[in-house]
């Protein structure tokens, strides 16, 4: 399925399927973690009081997550593919991430 909208991107993330994104600047935090926080904040975009806390991220990583959220919410159609395509370049290549699976109960 071609991901067109933000809503569809969240559905792919929730299903644990590969999600096309672009590499972002980190200070040691895994790409999937940063993108996962951004996706959860996008899910809560209408009520940011429900957004996850992120005290474990560096100041720069917090800025990166804020930027992802702001850019993803721009535009009337919240076109995920357009956002990804516009941000892919030599220093920020296209990558795929997956939602980490919850640990199985012992």
Helices (H), the chain: 6-15, 31-43, 59-72, 80-87
Q: 94-97 and 19-22: which strand pairing?
A: antiparallel
Residue 104 lies in a domain: no
Residue 10 lies in a domain: yes
What is the domain count for the chain? Answer: 1
Domain that holds residue 20: 6-97
Residue 105 lies in a domain: no
Residue 75 lies in a domain: yes
CA-to-CA distance for 45 and 78, rounded, in angstroms? Answer: 12
Cβ(17)–Cβ(3) below 8 Å:
no
Per-residue pLDDT, 50: 59
List the chain pLDDT tens, one digit each, 106 residues: 566 788 899 999 999 999 999 999 999 999 999 999 999 888 887 555 556 667 789 989 989 998 898 888 886 567 888 888 889 999 999 999 999 887 766 6
Residue 1 lies in a domain: no
CA-to-CA distance for 5 and 9, rounded, in angstroms? Answer: 6
């Amino acid at each position: 399925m071609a991901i067109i909208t933000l809503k569809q991107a969240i559905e792919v993330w929730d299903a644990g399927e590969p999600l096309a994104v672009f590499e972002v600047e980190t200070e040691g935090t895994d790409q999937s973690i940063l993108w996962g926080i951004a996706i959860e904040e996008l899910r809560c975009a209408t009520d940011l009081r429900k957004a996850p806390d992120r005290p474990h991220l560096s100041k720069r990583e917090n800025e990166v997550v804020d930027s992802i959220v702001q850019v993803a919410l721009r535009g009337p159609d919240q076109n995920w593919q357009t956002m990804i395509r516009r941000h892919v370049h030599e220093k920020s290549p296209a990558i795929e991430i997956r939602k980490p699976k919850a640990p199985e109960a012992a």
